Structure 1
């Protein structure tokens, strides 16, 4: 596809200040889209937006959003529409992945995952879906995980949250299509971001499922450009492997996972390495403040 195949698209991305979100914002802007980066870290959202705008010449806004707060989410979408001159796509990317044994996980950490990974996606899908359905067009992209189709020990609640996102997407793909709204679910495997800090994917995982955030960004961009709904794993080979094992009895599947070392990747995490990530993602969200735009806007023509 051409470098500017997304020209004219107005796209909002939650959790867009770092990782998959930032890589996606950068690629979409580079391909001609105007982007509203939303993140709980307003300062980093503004910095990321300014960097991408300067590098691409695209219109990019950095906005604060707390996806666990419906009012904040709606204000974010309002600000995105106002700043970009409309809204065509919402990418529900914000998510966290605490690791550790289920019996040791606090209720606070459990609730935090469900609030961000599940309720945040549901809220975003409702708010954007209503806007899009009223116009008869729009696209929702929900970021799930291969953990949403194949569970692993050490991340039990995370798996539950991503199973929920996969199920939500499968239902909305059918329900919203007649209203002109496309719904895509992207399920990445092990992405080289801070989310997997302290994990040690073995040789097999690295061969079939270890990817860079830019790979996920490319899958998101292709889905938007082609208006392709439905479910997709990234990389495809990892999804093929997991789906090939699905018809097998569960105990046999688990034995195969164990023999390949897959059960230990998330269970045996180095929590000292993950400390900074956990401190940032698991602390309670501060009390909501009135929404204000904090990003940098730059407009310009594209070559």
Structure 2
């Protein structure tokens, strides 16, 4: 039997745009009580969701945000750690600021959010944590080295937490989309796998909440390619990726003029980390 989402309290970080926004709308259609957490909640002000400012790199602020959600709506049933950035460029040209921003938003915030969710859900023996990783969490792509590292971290975190929570009543899901047609993917062209719409990822997330499972690949063919790749000798897999130009996807996008607006917004997406590390705005 599919689980009912009506009246469930669901928190979506980075919920005002992209995959997060599409997921919010799908959840609202299911009758869930949805909370949008984002640096800029302006796009969500007219939605039938509670929109609260959230900087996931301000860990104390993240905790207070979750406290406020529970104070206003009751215990959190589902936490979707969706907030993430993907600045692109040659690894040796990446400065510490860009590295820290990715580590803090894409990984540290997911660790913190997951831990906070476990603390709140374990006493009730119920709950569901969804961590949005990427197909880049299963492979390495030139042009997005640190991004790949953070997404590998999310996959490993999710696997380990799931094992630790076995029998607790808390479900863990790890979502691994290919390139999704959002601002984050500006300048990226179809390669090994065609790009997908954020609504497709949202549908997969909602489906996993109704019928819990851990691995969620979007599209499903990403999972098939991942399994095939792991069966092949490394040299053969790398050769095939090169022939299909999978190793050019992020590199070519990094050099495109289409990414300028996104890269600028991503650079200002971690004020809490900037303050903690003493980076100048």
Does the pair score TM above 0.5? yes
**Contact 1:37/1:49, CA 8 A, preserved across alignment:** no
Local SS of the residue matching 1:233? strand
**Are 1:253 and 2:242 an aligned pair?**
no
Given candidates 122, 145, 152, the residue that maps to 1:156 is 145
- Equivalences for residues 18-97 of structure 1 within 5 A: 18-42=17-41, 44=42, 47-50=43-46, 52-53=47-48, 60-97=49-86
The RMSD of aligned alpha carbons is 1.8
How far off is 1:284 after superposition?
A: 6.1
Partner of 1:301: none
Partner of 2:16: 17
Cα deviation, 1:253-298, whole Å, max 9, x if unaligned, reads 111001011111111114421111111112263369xxxxxxxxxx
- Equivalences for residues 124-135 of structure 1 within 5 A: 124-135=113-124
With the length of structure 2 as denominator, give the TM-score of the two structures.
0.92
Cα deviation, 1:190-246, whole Å, max 9, x if unaligned, reads 1110111011224x532xxx21001110111111112x1422211111210122111
How far off is 1:83 after superposition?
A: 2.6
How far off is 1:247 after superposition?
A: 1.9
Structure 2 portions without partners, runs of 5+: 274-281
**Are 1:168 and 2:153 an aligned pair?**
no
Q: State the alpha-carbon separation in 1 of the partners of residues 81 and 272 from structure 2.
A: 22
With the length of structure 1 as denominator, give the TM-score of the two structures.
0.85
Local SS of the residue matching 2:167? helix
Q: State the alpha-carbon separation in 1 of the partners of residues 272 and 153 from structure 2.
A: 27
Cα deviation, 1:109-134, whole Å, max 9, x if unaligned, reads 01110000010000000111100012
Partner of 2:252: 268
Pick closer, same or farther for the CA change 1:276–1:285 going to 2, 3 Å: same
Partner of 1:283: 268
Cα deviation, 1:11-37, whole Å, max 9, x if unaligned, reads 000000000000000000011101000
Structure 1 portions without partners, runs of 5+: 54-59, 289-303
**Are 1:205 and 2:190 an aligned pair?**
no
